[in-house]
Every structure is written in structure tokens, then in C-alpha cells.
Amino acid sequence: MDKRLDQFLTSIRAELTALKKETDVTTSAMKSTMDDQAKTMAELERSAIFTSDTVSQLQKDVEKLTSSVSQLTEKCTDLESRSRRQNLCILNIKEGEETGRKTTDFIAHLLKNALSLETLPFIDRTHRSLRKRSDNTSYPRAFIVKMHYFNDWQDIIQKAAQLKSIIYNGEKLLIFPDLPAATLKQHARFNRAKDLLRDRPGVRFGFLYPAKLRVTHNGEEIYFTDPVKVITFAEQHFGEGNVSTS
């Protein structure tokens, strides 16, 4: 019995030793894996911090660039507007009306006759808008006119504004300043407001550069940069029910 007991104990010791060795190997492998994971986590944490700092810096850079682009866009629009400050845009002159004549002379005589000017305006150059020539079923290309003298430009704009209808060869002409597309988009925001003010008693209105609407009501001048406020003004003074919705 003692011999068999010794053999049994020896077998158990051997198995325990083998189990301990196997456990030690597994524990060592797990410790190595955990160390590797800890290193990986530390690297990920450093990478996340770096990425967060980079994104934060990029956001600041984008804000600065957005502000710079906005300022540059405004400056470019302002420079474009200044280059056009003595330009006129004339609509509804039939295609081919100027054929056989110098376009500057043709437009000068047209303006003198249509607006009843005392003298021929001095025009530097003029041309049709740069798009495909229209056919008889579409609108004719606009004339872009560069005036030599600012006073002539101002007189023409004022007379065109005073006249409700300018007729030339049976067509109603439209004469207005030649403005950049960006400025025209700003003006277009006021289209609804202008419809509400048009033909109202004691009311005159017009734009100051670049897009400030000046409204004169019974001798008092009011300035608007927000079209919603103009609509509110019109409804308060003329009543919502009496305001045109065209």
C-alpha cells in the first residue's frame, strides 16, 4: 500500500509540475500579450491626442482661410464694381439695329433721343453681351456701354429712373447700371420688398452701393440692408391686405 501510495503521489507531483509549467507558459504569454496591448493602447492614445490637436489646428486654419476668402471675395467684387462704375446696361435693343453704324455713335444717338438729352453723351466703347446671338424668338443681347464722363452716366441713370417708360422703335428699353453678378444677387434679395413699395404714394426707393436700399417716405429717408425689414415696413405703413403680391 505504501509503495502504491508513493507511486500515486509521485504521479500527482509530476502532473502538478507539468500543469505549473504549462500555466507558467500560458501566464507568460498572456503577460506578453497584455504588455503588447498596453503599448498599442498607449500608441493609440498618443495618436488620438495628436489627431485631435491636428483637427483642432485645421479647424482654426479653415476659419482663418474662410475669413480671408470672404475678404478677398469682397475686395474682388468691389474692384470689379469700380471698374464698371461708369458702365450702363441697356436691354431690348433688337439684334442688328446697330448694323452698318459705329456702335458708340449708334448708342450715343439712341440715348440722346430716348432720354431727350441736350447733347450727345461721350461714350468710350460699347458691345453686346458676350453670349450667343439670340434669334427672333428670344431676348436680344444686352448692350454694355462704357461712358467717358461720370456726370453723363449719372444723368442717364437719373433720367432713366424718372421715366416710367423708355420707348425706342416700339420696344421698351431698360437702362440700369452694369453691376457684377454678386452684387445683382444681393439686389435680387430685395425683389419682393421692391414690389411692395412700387407705386406707393409718397414713396421713392433706390440702391446705394453695394446693396443698401434707400427708401424715401413722405420726405423721410430710411436705409435697409435686410429685405425682411423692408417688407415689415411696407406692411406697417400700407397694410398687408393692400400690398401687391406681384
The list of the chain residues with pLDDT below 70 reads: 134-137, 239-246
Q: What is the pLDDT of residue 134?
A: 65
Question: Measuring CA to CA, which residue among 146, 69, 48, 131 is closest to residue 95?
Answer: 131
Range of 198's domain? 183-242
CA neighbor of 140 nearest in space, from 168, 108, 120: 168
What pLDDT score does 240 carry? 54
Q: What does the pLDDT look like over 126-167, one tens digit per residue?
A: 999 887 776 665 788 999 999 999 999 999 998 988 887 888
Residue 26: is it exposed, middle or buried by C-beta count within 10 angstroms (0-12/13-18/19+)? exposed
Domain CATH number, residue 91:
3.30.70.1820
Report H helices in 84-137. 103-115
Q: How many domains does the chain have?
A: 3
Question: The domain that contains 221 carries what CATH number?
Answer: 3.30.250.20
Rg value, the chain, Cα:
40
Q: Is 92:172 a contact under the CB 8 Å cutoff?
A: yes
Are residues 117 and 170 located together in one domain of the fold? Answer: yes
Residue at which a domain ends, from 35, 56, 78: 78
